[in-house]
């Protein structure tokens, strides 16, 4: 099925551990985004990539790094997880022409 | 700065009631406007959108009109169903900001049979 695939769906980390959230899209979209969703708040942009080989910070980039490995894949890395990074993470890709987005199903991350 | 304000939830209605979820925004220029829906345990799905003033987006019986003069994009449905229970997010994006989505906090809708 065409769309955005995120892995894993769930993850529990201990404080200080590292991990990488994977995201891949098969729609040949140029722009991809990582958001986090916290209770009672809208999604907040962590990083985005307007095209292969470029990445830019969003609203809340601290504690994260990203890699746009190729046009399909955009990964998010937590180098040293903190409890404040407990959240649901969504990856999205932008439709050609900017008229909409497709979201992945999310990764629920808990840092203890 | 740019922002989106939605009515606070939860909004609880009986089946077949009329629904309005208010959304207002602040933005430079004329962004595209979106409503996304998140069903329990699922990701975000685009419900409808509008890209210019006076456009009406519609889908699954939901409608919203891009009102430039009031900077609003209120979501409406004439007769809600239990299956409409979800969290609804209003958002906008502009090409000048690389289409970064600016989100409202979400409104939880609960429909009782």
Q: Convert the pLDDT of each residue in A48-67 to its tens digit.
A: 999 999 999 999 999 999 99
In chain B, which residues touch A (CB < 8 A)?
4, 32, 34, 36, 42-46, 49, 51, 89, 91, 93, 95, 98-106
Q: Would you place residue A89 in the very low, low, confident or very high pLDDT band (cuts 50, 70, 90)? A: very high
B40 contacts in chain A (CB < 8 Å): none
Average pLDDT, chain B: 93
Contact list, A36 vs chain B (CB under 8 Å): none
**Whole-angstrom Cα distance, residue B33 to residue B51?**
6
d(CA A88, CA A81): 14
From A1's Cα to the closest Cα of chain B, the distance in A is: 15
Q: Do A98 and B93 touch (CB under 8 A)?
A: yes
* Nearest residue, CB atoms, B43 vs list A58, A100, A105: A105
CA distance B103 to chain A (A): 5
B21, with CB counted inside 10 A (0-12, 13-18, 19+), is: buried
- pLDDT at A72 exceeding the cut of 60: yes
* The predicted structure's pLDDT at residue A21: 97
Cα first-last separation, chain A? 34
SS3 of residue B37 by DSSP = strand
**Ranges in chain B, pLDDT < 70:** none
The answer to whether A10 touches A107, Cβ cutoff 8 Å, is yes
pLDDT for res B11: 96
Among chain A, residues having any CB pair with chain B shorter than 8 Å are 31, 33, 35, 40-45, 48, 50, 56, 58, 90, 92, 94, 98-106
Q: Which residue has the higher pLDDT, A56 or A100?
A: A56
> What's the CA gap between B31 and B27, in Å, rounded?
7
């Amino acid at each position: 099925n065409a769309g955005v695939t995120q892995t894993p769906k769930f993850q529990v980390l201990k404080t200080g551990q590292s991990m990488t959230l994977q995201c891949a899209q098969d729609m040949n979209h140029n722009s991809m985004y990582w958001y986090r969703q916290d209770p009672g708040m809208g999604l907040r942009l962590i990083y985005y990539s307007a095209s292969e080989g470029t990445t830019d910070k969003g609203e809340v980039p601290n504690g994260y790094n990203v890699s746009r490995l190729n046009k399909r894949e955009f990964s998010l890395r937590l180098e040293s997880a903190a409890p404040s990074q407990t959240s649901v993470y969504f990856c999205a890709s932008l439709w050609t022409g900017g008229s909409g987005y497709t979201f992945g199903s999310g990764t629920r991350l808990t840092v203890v | 700065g740019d922002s989106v304000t939605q009515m606070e939830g939860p909004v609880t209605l009986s089946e077949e009631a009329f629904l309005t979820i208010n959304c207002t925004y602040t933005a430079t220029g004329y962004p595209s406007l979106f409503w996304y829906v998140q069903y329990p345990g699922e990701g975000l799905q685009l419900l409808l959108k509008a890209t210019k003033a006076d456009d009406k987006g519609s889908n699954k019986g939901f409608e919203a009109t891009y009102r430039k003069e009031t900077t609003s994009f209120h979501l409406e449905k004439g007769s809600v169903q239990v299956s409409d229970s979800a969290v609804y997010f209003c958002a906008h994006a502009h090409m000048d900001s690389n289409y970064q989505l600016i989100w409202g906090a979400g409104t939880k809708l609960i429909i009782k049979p």
